[in-house]
Copies of this chain bind each other. A is one copy, B any other.
Amino acid sequence: MKHYDCVVIGTGPAGQKGAIQAAKLGKSVAIVEKNKVLGGAQINTGTIPSKALREAVLQLTTGHRRGIYGTSKHVKEQVTIADLVSFSQRVIRHEWEIIRDQFERNNVDLHWGHAQFVGPNEVAIEGPDGEERITADRFLLGVGTRPARPENVPFNGQTIFTSDAVMKLDHLPKTMIVVGGGVIGTEYACIMATLGVQVTLIEGRNKVLGFLDQEICDAFQYFIRQRGITLRLGEKVEAIREVDCNSSSGQNGSVCRLVEAKLESGKIIHAGTLLYAVGRQGVCKQLGLDKVGIEFDDRERLQVNEHYQTNVDHVYAAGDVIGFPSLASTSMEQGRRAICHAFGCSEGNYNTSLFPYGIYAVPEISMVGKTEEQLTAEGIPYESGVANYREIARGQLLGDELGMLKMLIHQETHKLLGVHVIGTGATELIHIGQAVMALDGDAEFFVNNVFNFPTLAECYKVAAYNGLNKLNNVYSGSCQPVAVSC
């Protein structure tokens, strides 16, 4: 029975980065993958496929929306879901190769199969060629989650499905109900709406993406409604079923089927398809965690301390299985830090309050630092500075009339407290503000800085002027207050 310094379960972002980190520390490492492919939800069902689909859809529709092609014919009708998916498959295959190559170069032993603890330091791996047992001093669980599939939802994979099945759709539906206004539900709702699908998005709370700054959330909800998405906020789904078209709409045709969602408020909603995107569920029951004494909650998720340790010291967990924020970017960092702690070396001094959040909806959203609501609750005095993309030459060139960047500035120190961006390139743009926050810069930095023209980065200058001008009229007699584009 082979013994390792470290065994990692799951090859998603948390497992990958953890395994490589351990190898770089000179440890012997094994990693176990129960699916037929590497990369977990990030590469196979979640992050990458949805971003690839989004990228293809935007490419497809943007030029036309902007009228760049003049009166030439619209190509959209010529595109099938198969085209879009084939593009994404190429990206996915490339990512598989990168991961496999990383494991090989770093001598990480890759085991295919389903791992289950059989003792505190031993796992049995049920693979294609039978069972194998390995032991280790330390474990990292990066087992991810799967979409929750409540028993009262009649999933069929074709008209009623979870996010894992979206990429397998063989045609574009005309109408879709999306249940759940979290990151996954919202991103797919936007992609589908951009493709011309009539979407109804149902969310139990009174807004989608509840962690966003309210102003950004309001703007986002306004934009997606403008794009034709119907929002049903503060509504819960009571029952979902398939019905005949004629029983619901009075149309004839015996093979015609629709999905019907009945809301607690009594409303009945019909659509061709329904994407169920409420909650994700751990897969801890399959891991034999009772053999180690590790506890999990009713959604099979693990609780960890600030070092990503479970209630059993030598077993760590990272990524989706430990809950919010469940983003690939943060999962990677969690995996790396868990291993650093496990082998007693420094985790670096990174401030987790500067984790960025990126939402690949249409429009794109990103944030770093605090929201206005958080600052108000914490009694921190701030002013906001706003730049609209439409004021910026680059925004005009991109045809982005909606985008905005908001920075929150401490009223006294003028330090940045948060940056919130909605619009093209938001997830990239946020990193300028993040660097300035991390390196203790203030809003004046942007005023004095020279930005390439034309760029969206200029928004930082305009927003800083806007905020500083509101903050103190002392500026109006000095050299600083020249608004760049407004």
Q: Which residues of A line the B interface, CB within 8 A?
A: 13, 17, 20-21, 24-26, 42, 47-48, 51-52, 55-56, 59-60, 62-63, 66-73, 75, 78-80, 82-84, 86-87, 91, 94-95, 98, 102, 327-330, 332-333, 336, 340, 345-350, 354-358, 366, 391, 393, 396-398, 425, 427-432, 434-436, 438-441, 445, 447-457, 460, 476-486
Return the chain B residue nearest A364 by Cβ.
B452
Q: Is A329 in contact with B453, judged by CB distance below 8 angstroms?
A: yes
A-B pairs, top 5 by smallest CB distance, nearest first, are A70-B83, A358-B452, A439-B439, A72-B78, A329-B453
Q: Is A445 in contact with B451, judged by CB distance below 8 angstroms?
A: no
Across-interface contacts of A429 in B (CB, < 8 A): 428
Q: Is B20 in contact with A482, judged by CB distance below 8 angstroms?
A: yes
Return the chain B residue nearest A55 by Cβ.
B397
A436 touches which of B80, B345, B435, B480 (Cβ 8 Å): B435
CA distance A340 to B13 in the complex (A): 51
Across-interface contacts of A51 in B (CB, < 8 A): 393, 397, 454
CA distance A480 to B478 in the complex (A): 45
CB distance from A95 to the nearest CB of B (A): 6
A428 touches which of B60, B449, B456 (Cβ 8 Å): B456
CB distance from A131 to the nearest CB of B (A): 31
Q: How many copies does the complex hold?
A: 2
Q: Is A479 in contact with B397, judged by CB distance below 8 angstroms?
A: no
Residue from the set A13, A397, A452, A460 with the largest chain B CB neighbour count within 10 Å:
A452
Return the chain B residue nearest A441 by Cβ.
B439
Q: Is B427 in contact with A425, judged by CB distance below 8 angstroms?
A: no
Interface pairs (27), CB distance under 8 Å: A20-B482, A21-B479, A25-B479, A26-B477, A56-B68, A66-B87, A68-B84, A69-B83, A73-B75, A73-B78, A98-B486, A329-B452, A336-B479, A336-B482, A345-B478, A346-B479, A348-B479, A350-B450, A356-B450, A358-B453, A366-B452, A430-B452, A431-B455, A431-B460, A435-B436, A438-B449, A439-B441
CB distance from A345 to the nearest CB of B (A): 5
Known A-B contacts A75-B75, A393-B48; the reply to A428 vs B453 at CB < 8 A is no
CA distance A354 to B450 in the complex (A): 8
Q: Is B481 in contact with A24, judged by CB distance below 8 angstroms?
A: yes
Q: Is B327 in contact with A453, judged by CB distance below 8 angstroms?
A: yes
Known pairs A59-B68, A345-B479. 6 more at Cβ < 8 A?
A52-B397, A55-B397, A70-B87, A95-B393, A346-B479, A427-B457
Q: Is A68 in contact with B87, judged by CB distance below 8 angstroms?
A: yes
Q: Is B441 in contact with A435, judged by CB distance below 8 angstroms?
A: yes
A350 touches which of B330, B366, B432, B449 (Cβ 8 Å): B449
Known A-B contacts A348-B480, A445-B439, A478-B346; the reply to A328 vs B453 at CB < 8 A is yes
Known A-B contacts A346-B479, A450-B354; the reply to A67 vs B94 at CB < 8 A is no
CA distance A373 to B78 in the complex (A): 50
Across-interface contacts of A59 in B (CB, < 8 A): 62-63, 66, 68
A431 touches which of B83, B94, B98, B432 (Cβ 8 Å): B432
CB distance from A397 to the nearest CB of B (A): 5
Residue from the set A51, A358, A431 with the largest chain B CB neighbour count within 10 Å:
A431
Across-interface contacts of A67 in B (CB, < 8 A): 87
A455 touches which of B102, B397, B428 (Cβ 8 Å): B428
CB distance from A469 to the nearest CB of B (A): 10
